[in-house]
Amino acid sequence: MNVLLFGQRDDKRKAEFEEFKEKRVAFITQATDLDAEEAKVFWPLYNELQEKKFELNKQLRKTLFEFSENKKNHTESDYKEIVDLYTQSRIKEAQLDEEYIAKFAKVISYEKIYLYQQAELQFARQMLDQRRERDFPKPK
């Protein structure tokens, strides 16, 4: 029974994530005014970047979770190691952004790259606000 329940939960999460990605694509496409040719090249690059960032952050999340679950008394050295790991992860993410901006610039203008970056931030804020409203509704 539990396996079925977890499977249903996973299916629901996958469906919600797909819906999230569709909304993000629509939001960014509208904000950047990508034409069909630009979109045909931009979106595969964008998806590749997102996948690389996801994998990078997945490993970081796993390590941070294991660190916080480990109930031993962490040493100063342990904390330094985890802080350094977090910092290195952010640096790698910035390097990925730099690499992909160069790739984007071959197919769209820097103006559209800027608009994409702003749209991504705005979309993230919008999603966070919606989640807050759902999880913490204001009293009537």
pLDDT at residue 6, rounded to an integer: 55
Q: Angle at CA 40, nearest 5°, toward 39 and 45? A: 85
State pLDDT tens for residues 13-23.
888 889 988 99
State how far the alpha carbon of 11 is from the alpha carbons of 46, 85, 120, 134, in Å: 24, 32, 26, 21
State how far the alpha carbon of 50 is from the alpha carbons of 58, 71, 76, 96, 136, in Å: 12, 33, 33, 10, 29
The size of the chain, in residues, is 140
**Of 10 and 59, the one with more pLDDT:** 59
Q: What is the pTM of this model?
A: 0.80
